[in-house]
Amino acid sequence: MIVDSHCHLQDQQFEADRGDVVARAAAAGVSALVAPATDGASAGRALELARRTGTLAIGVAVGVHPNDLEAADRWSAIEDLAAEPEVVAIGETGLDYYRGAERAPEQRALFARHLDLAARRGLPVVVHNRAADQDVLAALSDWSSGVAGRVAVLHCFVGGPALAERALALGCYLGYGGPLTFKSAADLRETARVVPLERALVETDAPYLAPTPHRGQRNEPAYARLVVARLAEILELDFREVAAQTRDNALRVFGDRLGGAARPLARGLA
């Protein structure tokens, strides 16, 4: 029932036990995930996994992370990969001024490339935003203004209610991950209380940002269940209702591929 809307399953941290990770995810009720790329190489690995999908349905997002600007030199590869049938979104893209403010103009130019590609392919865009609220929302406003069907997912959303309100007005979906479970995240939990559940997605960002009680450890898609449970607790709703609604939201954003029947675990997935 659960869809992990942002999981780097292709990451090298899963190389030794990926099959076990997938099995644990399925046992935890995760039926599908989106594997976003950070560059062309990670996009290729994600596509390979999606084509060998086993107990999980896997969709792929292709793009260049704002902290990997050097990979933009191979942009033509991203353009080519975006046409593959397993691709359900463009990303992970966006702006990161926490680590790369000195290269902000280059980041904005690369973000614009991704938005243009998403528009041409008719795909949603998966957005990374760190310390760049104003510029991210300005770019998305220009991109989506007056154009029906353009959808952005603000991945790992940690902003307050005011930022969420602005994002929702642009038609964005908000991705909640491990930080929602952190003791220090009172403002984020307040945001979750006022955001319509119909605009929420659940994610892990695995192998990063593991939720409580696994904080500081390697994250994995099975832990999406903990995020669903925390969101259900915050909203005072049944776990199954939150899992089902966020799954439906993911299907609305990313398409029917994430709802497809899983095949037997493919040889070589581990």
Strand order across the beta sheet in which 30-36 lies: 2-4, 30-36, 57-62, 87-96, 125-130, 152-154, 173-176, 200-202
- CA-nearest of 255, 231, 254, 251 to 241 is 231
- Residue 270: its pLDDT value, please? 39
Q: What are the pLDDT digits (tens) for 17-26?
A: 999 999 999 9
- What is the spatial distance between Cα 134 and Cα 129, in angstroms, rounded to a whole number? 10
pLDDT band, residue 53 (cuts 50/70/90) = low
**Which CA distances in Å does 115 have to 62, 109, 123, 204?**
12, 10, 9, 24
CATH topology of domain 2-259: TIM Barrel (3.20.20)
- What is the spatial distance between Cα 264 and Cα 157, in angstroms, rounded to a whole number? 34
Decide if 93 contacts 116 (C-beta within 8 A).
Answer: no
- Core vs surface per residue 127-156: b (16+ CB within 10 A) or e: bbbbebbebbbebbeebbeeeeebbbbbbb
Which residues, 6 or more positions from 80, have their beta carbon under 8 angstroms from its beta carbon? none
Number of other CB atoms surrounding residue 186 within 10 Å: 9
In the chain, where are the structural domains located?
A: 2-259
- Flag whether pLDDT at 260 surpasses 90: no
Decide if 24 contacts 226 (C-beta within 8 A).
Answer: no
236-242 long-range contacts (CB < 8 A, ≥24 apart) are 237/197, 240/1, 242/197
Task: Find how far residue 7's CA is from the centre of its chain.
Answer: 7
Q: What are the pLDDT digits (tens) for 100-147?
A: 889 999 999 999 999 999 999 999 999 999 999 999 999 999 999 878
**Which residue(s) pair with 152 in the sheet?**
125
**Which residue(s) pair with 30 in the sheet?**
2
- The pair of three-digit structure tokens given for residue 102, joined into one six-digit string: 């000195």
The model carries a pTM of 0.94
Give the residue, 183 or 269, on which the prediction is more confident: 183
- Residue 267: its pLDDT value, please? 33
Mean pLDDT of 204-225: 97
- The pair of three-digit structure tokens given for residue 232, joined into one six-digit string: 């259900």
Give the residue, 54 or 217, on which the prediction is more confident: 217
CA angle 256, 257, 259 (to 5 degrees): 65
**Which CA distances in Å does 177 have to 136, 146, 152, 219, 225?**
19, 30, 17, 11, 10
**Which CA distances in Å does 141 have to 92, 151, 160, 166, 169?**
18, 11, 19, 10, 9
Mean pLDDT of 219-224: 98
- Burial class (CB within 10 angstroms; exposed 0-12, middle 13-18, buried 19+) of 85: exposed
- Flag whether pLDDT at 226 surpasses 90: yes
